[in-house]
Amino acid sequence: MKTSAIVAAVAGALALGGYVAYRTMRTEPTVTAQSEPAADAPSTVQAAETLPDFTLANLSGEQQSSHSWPDQALVINFWATWCAPCLREIPLLKEFHETQQANGITVVGIAVDRPEPVAAFAEDMTFNYPVLVGQAEGMEAAASFGVDFFALPFTVFTDHDANILGVHTGELHSEDLENLAAVLEALKAGRIDLEDARGRIDGRI
């Protein structure tokens, strides 16, 4: 009896493992999830200096341009429902969007995912900022920023004139957004210039 029980348990574990592998092969995008930035590597791609023009569907299924928020500084956050660090930072992004809208800062989520799981997740999360959706199209949108490494979460910061200030790969934390708000305030007030702002975002200053 003990031998039969062990055989049954092993068979069950193998079946479960096979199903998980099958689901992973069927549904997981080629991007990866990570909670910390990757190690520095030589770049072979020219990074974009201004916000690229791309169009993706929003949660209502309507096509929306990346330039739908003129005169707004943007926090463009690429995420997916299967990415744990992405989901952890969404409440922080919601709070930041709510508190910084008066300062002309807008969070835009871009789900690199299938529409169905994103729609189901959005019902529970109740986003207070715009969300665009596209699996392959979302990856193309991320690539348009000219980075040669792409893992989720991935966030791009722009100023109020659509100039790209910097990118952040990995999970965002409150200090990252606090630094961004301070840099944008100083830039808008004329206390620093664009290059100083970029240096403060990527840690050179």
Query: What is the helix (H) or strand (E) element at residue 71, kind and residue range?
Result: none
How long, in residues, is the chain? 205
104 and 51 in one domain? Answer: yes
78 and 14 in one domain? Answer: no
74 and 26 in one domain? Answer: no
Q: Say what the pLDDT of residue 42 is.
A: 43
43 and 23 in one domain? Answer: no
- The neighbouring-strand residues paired with 63 are 57
Q: Say what the pLDDT of residue 25 is.
A: 32
Q: Any idea what the CATH number is for the domain that residue 194 is in?
A: 3.40.30.10
Q: Say what the pLDDT of residue 37 is.
A: 45
Q: Say what the pLDDT of residue 10 is.
A: 32
CA dist 192 and 188 (Å) reads: 8
Single out the residue of 66, 70, 45 nearest to residue 57, CA to CA: 66
112 and 12 in one domain? Answer: no
Number of domains composing the chain: 2
The whole domain housing 142 covers 33-202
175 and 80 in one domain? Answer: yes
Instruction: Give every CB contact of residue 107 below 8 A, 6+ residues apart in sequence.
Output: 74, 75, 77, 93, 94, 96, 97, 129, 130
Q: Say what the pLDDT of residue 154 is.
A: 94
70 and 21 in one domain? Answer: no
179 and 85 in one domain? Answer: yes
Q: Say what the pLDDT of residue 31 is.
A: 60
**Largest Cα–Cα distance of the chain, in whole Å?**
79
98 and 19 in one domain? Answer: no
Q: Say what the pLDDT of residue 150 is.
A: 73
96 and 20 in one domain? Answer: no
Preceding peptide of 42 cis, ω within 30°: no
68 and 154 in one domain? Answer: yes
Report the 10 Å Cβ neighbour count for 76. Answer: 23
Phi and psi for 163 in degrees, rounded to 5?
-80, 135
Q: Say what the pLDDT of residue 147 is.
A: 79
66 and 106 in one domain? Answer: yes
**In tens digits, what is the pLDDT along the chain, a chain of 205 residues?**
433 333 333 333 333 333 233 233 333 445 666 544 444 444 445 789 999 999 999 999 999 999 999 999 999 999 999 999 999 999 999 999 999 999 999 999 999 999 999 999 999 999 999 999 999 999 999 999 997 767 899 999 999 999 999 999 999 999 999 999 999 999 999 999 999 999 999 987 6
